[in-house]
């Protein structure tokens, strides 16, 4: 990658900042980090990087065409991680479709105009499903071409965005060369800074250390965030390699690691048990009752829509997502990208557990401050 440059969108996010850290170790000429806003502490961290690579921090909107054109100018590649993630229905459909789909389309157009030859898209396993909690997928692979049937804005917008990226492979650039694209579909991503994990831990801290037990029927293969970031770097290397690139162009890859197959609840427990967290032992509603109750809540939301925006506490999509057997190994990524996880399960668990411990300490200090 000597002399090359790369733009990373969503660079201030959970995954994006990890990609930046890994790219700083590569032999690039320049990295541009683009996000709508950067936290001051992250800006400071980026400014202190000791590297020969020039790092330029840009603040701008993924829907701002002029911003995207400036950000792409002179770049050799784009890694597009920027998106809005929402599986609860609290973010409006318009926002999700605009950022996740329209933002991706505008970024592709900016790449064409600025002659950026490589585009790597961060997709999600949710573009493949699960479509039913009764369906069991234990050794899924790319050749099955699974596709979500849900029209919920998050999986739907990400499905359309990924299709747009893969269909753009081979497009002619302004200078006559062609665009090479690929998409990575990570499994559920965990690690330090995960907003999903934070919400579960925060809820448990306010509930005597009892973790919500709402996905005990699930079986999945979660993936550590730094391993997902590493897969992006390897995808970039592959698309810049004239020997590997032909096998990677226009392809998508499931990204997982060697984290044991487990439920989402079990993962939360594994990284929290050192600090005294326990799983809720109360019995829950049978799965089919949860599903149909969610259906009734959705009908209620639809009926109230003209006068009031009612967001159901859970949906059929969420019930299915949290209670399915949906497992995808990383064999294709291993074959085409040379992907091998940087961190083992034990290392990933240790790092995440330490972060959970810091949340516990913050909570204790907060309680002490309030009591004074």
Asked whether the beta carbons of 110 and 45 are under 8 A apart, the reply is no
Asked whether the beta carbons of 321 and 130 are under 8 A apart, the reply is yes
Residue 209 has phi, psi (to 5 degrees) of 80, 15
335: CB partners within 8 A, 6+ apart: none
168: CB partners within 8 A, 6+ apart: 108, 119, 179, 181
- For the CA atoms of 192, 197, 201, 204, the dihedral, rounded to the nearest 10 degrees, stands at -170
Closest CA to 38 of 85, 94, 82, 70: 82
Other beta carbons within 10 angstroms of residue 304's beta carbon come to 11
Asked whether the beta carbons of 259 and 222 are under 8 A apart, the reply is yes
Interatomic CA distance for residues 165 and 119, integer angstroms: 8
Interatomic CA distance for residues 213 and 88, integer angstroms: 17
- The helix/strand/coil state of 202 is helix
Query: Which tokens go with 276?
Result: 């005294």
269 is catalytic: no
Asked whether the beta carbons of 183 and 337 are under 8 A apart, the reply is no
Catalytic residue, chosen from 133, 154, 254, 330, is 154
Active site residues: 154
């Amino acid at each position: 990658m000597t002399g090359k440059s790369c733009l990373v969108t969503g660079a201030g996010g959970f995954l994006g900042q990890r990609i930046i850290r890994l790219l700083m170790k590569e032999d690039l000429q320049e990295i541009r980090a683009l996000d709508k806003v950067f936290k001051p502490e992250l800006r400071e961290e980026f400014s202190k990087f000791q590297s020969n690579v020039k790092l330029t921090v840009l603040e701008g909107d993924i829907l701002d065409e002029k911003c995207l054109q400036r950000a792409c100018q002179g770049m050799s590649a784009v890694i597009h991680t920027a998106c809005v993630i929402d599986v609860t229905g609290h973010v409006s459909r318009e926002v999700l479709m605009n950022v996740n789909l329209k933002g991706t389309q505008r970024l592709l157009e900016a790449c064409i105009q600025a002659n950026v030859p490589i585009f790597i898209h961060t997709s999600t396993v949710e573009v493949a499903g699960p479509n039913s909690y009764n369906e069991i997928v234990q050794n899924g692979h790319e050749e099955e071409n699974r596709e979500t049937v849900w029209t919920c804005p998050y999986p739907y917008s990400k499905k359309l965005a990924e299709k747009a990226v893969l269909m753009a492979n081979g497009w002619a650039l302004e200078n006559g060369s062609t665009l090479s694209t690929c998409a990575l579909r990570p499994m559920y991503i965990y690690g330090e800074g995960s907003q999903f994990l934070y919400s579960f831990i925060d809820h448990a801290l306010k509930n005597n250390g009892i973790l919500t037990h709402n996905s005990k029927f699930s079986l999945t293969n979660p993936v550590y965030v730094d391993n997902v970031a590493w897969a992006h770097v390897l995808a970039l290397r592959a698309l810049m390699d004239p020997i590997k690139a032909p096998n990677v162009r226009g392809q998508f890859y499931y990204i997982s690691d060697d984290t044991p197959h487990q439920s989402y609840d079990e993962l939360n427990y594994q990284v929290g048990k050192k600090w005294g967290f326990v799983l809720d032992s109360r019995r829950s509603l049978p799965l089919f009752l949860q599903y149909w109750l969610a259906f009734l809540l959705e009908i209620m939301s639809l009926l109230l829509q003209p006068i009031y925006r009612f967001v159901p506490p859970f949906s059929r999509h969420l019930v299915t997502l949290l209670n399915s057997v949906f497992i995808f190994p990383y064999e294709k990524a291993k074959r085409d990208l040379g992907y091998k996880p940087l961190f083992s399960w034990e290392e990933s668990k240790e790092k995440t557990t330490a972060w959970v411990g810091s949340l516990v300490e913050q909570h204790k200090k907060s309680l002490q401050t309030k009591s004074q």
